[in-house]
Amino acid sequence: MKVLVTGGCGFIGSHFIRTVFDHRPDWQVINLDALTYAGNLANTLDIQTHPRYRFVYGSITNRELVEALVQEADAVVNFAAETHVDRSIVDNEPFIMTNILGVQRLIDACVKYGKRFHHVSTDEVFGHLGPTDPKFNESTPYAPRNPYSATKAASDHLVRAAVATHGLRGTISNCTNNYGPYLYPEKFFAISITNLLQGKPIMICGSGSQVRDWIQVKDHALGVLAILERGRIGETYMMGGNSELSVVEAGKKILNVMGYGEEHLLLVADRPGQDKRYAIDYSKIKSELGWEPTYTFEEGIRHMVQWYKQNEDWWKPVRESSGYRRWYRMQFGIDP
């Protein structure tokens, strides 16, 4: 099996490639990545010389390149996306180009050459939940509330339309917030851990009462592999981490793991369009494919903290870059 992984230098995509190499000893991987700010070659240093790995620089919006690589592969797994809500609010055009046009390019090529296609999406396409609302499931109506989630919702609909109209051999997965090693330090856990390592507080947007479900990235990667191999064509599968916590509760757990007190929490202005709660019912993938999360939240956080302590050479250059410092000031109103 030869798999084209798009966005494989990103956080989740790079973990999926490692999962393939760890669990499928005869599979080959082609990694197509445009190396935007979060697509970092340093995320794949440990696999760049792997005999079953090949990297190709380029964008999924490039029709000719996409067609050539899809024709060569047996299956495509799409992780390529612009993903950060705050960046989409400031400038939505990159999100429209990659998350909509780029996905359509992949769909068109997979239809043309009859290839298997799996699209990785997010729970944010469903909007948000009230405190007592049932968890998101595969039948929850779409209700995106920011430019990022709107573009991801559009790409999901394009996949479903291609399955119905053109016979695309496609599946979709929607997951909750991922965390773990290599998480880009604009995401809450990575900002929090690296802030504390540099003697700075954890930054909480608003009151911190917004609730999220958190999934360890290795669990997510194993779920995607299960869907690719055994998922029913045309179906959607939801993945959650069974770790529903408010942002401030999650922050306190990070403080506890790292040995800090709550005086290291700092509340800052909330962002526009902040969703109240995400939570996922993953009973379908559990019953059909036997997948469920294996990491507890505490285990996952301890593992992540230890990795960031041991890999300052990965995250410090990111935090010290001019682009990151500019984004941090715009986000929190203070210097990083």
Q: Are both 105 and 249 inside the same structural domain?
A: no
Task: Cite the active site residues.
Answer: 123-124, 148
pLDDT number for residue 61? 97
| Domain contains 334 | no
pLDDT number for residue 335? 79
For the chain, the domain total comes to 2
Environment class of 72 (CB within 10 Å of its CB; exposed 0-12, middle 13-18, buried 19+) = middle
pLDDT of residue 131 exceeding 90, the answer is no
pLDDT number for residue 44? 95
φ, ψ dihedrals at 208, nearest 5°: 80, 10
Q: Are both 156 and 194 inside the same structural domain?
A: no
pLDDT band of residue 260 (cuts 50, 70, 90) is very high
Q: Are both 15 and 103 inside the same structural domain?
A: yes
Domain span including residue 147? 2-179+215-239
Q: Quick one: DSSP state of residue 26?
A: T
Domain boundary among 223, 239, 255: 239
Contact 77, 116 (CB under 8 A): no
Residues forming beta bridges with residue 30, ordered by sequence position = 4, 54
| Whole-number CA gyration radius for the chain | 19
pLDDT number for residue 54? 98
Average confidence score pLDDT of the chain: 93
Residues forming beta bridges with residue 202, ordered by sequence position = 265
| Domain contains 289 | no
Q: Which helix (H) or strand (E) holds 86?
A: helix 85-90
Q: Are both 117 and 101 inside the same structural domain?
A: yes
* CATH code of the domain covering residue 61: 3.40.50.720
Q: Are both 223 and 88 inside the same structural domain?
A: yes
Q: Quick one: DSSP state of residue 97?
A: I
pLDDT of residue 149 exceeding 70, the answer is yes
| Domain contains 311 | yes
Question: How does pLDDT run across 217-237, given as a tens digit for each residue?
Answer: 999 999 999 999 999 999 999
pLDDT of residue 122 exceeding 70, the answer is yes
pLDDT number for residue 276? 84
Q: Are both 235 and 94 inside the same structural domain?
A: yes
Proportion of the chain above pLDDT 90, given as a percent: 78
pLDDT number for residue 111? 98
pLDDT number for residue 143? 94
| Domain contains 290 | no
* CATH code of the domain covering residue 255: 3.90.25.10
pLDDT number for residue 328? 83
116-122 and 211-216 beta bridge pairing: unpaired
Q: Which helix (H) or strand (E) holds 3?
A: strand 2-6
Proportion of the chain above pLDDT 70, given as a percent: 99
Contact 12, 79 (CB under 8 A): yes
b/e map of 285-304 (b: 16 or more CB within 10 Å)? bbeebebbbebebeebbeeb
pLDDT of residue 313 exceeding 80, the answer is yes
Question: How does pLDDT run across 59-114, given as a tens digit for each residue?
Answer: 999 999 999 999 999 999 999 988 767 777 777 888 888 999 999 999 999 999 99
Q: Are both 35 and 82 inside the same structural domain?
A: yes
List, as one string, the DSSP characters of 197-260: HTT-PEEEETTS--EEEEEEHHHHHHHHHHHHHHPPTT-EEEE--S-EEEHHHHHHHHHHHHT-
pLDDT band of residue 30 (cuts 50, 70, 90) is very high
pLDDT band of residue 323 (cuts 50, 70, 90) is confident
Q: Are both 173 and 102 inside the same structural domain?
A: yes
Coil, strand, or helix at residue 192?
helix
CA atoms of 51 and 46, how far apart (whole Å): 12
pLDDT of residue 273 exceeding 70, the answer is no
- Other CB atoms within 10 A of residue 80 CB: 27
Average pLDDT over residues 298-322: 94
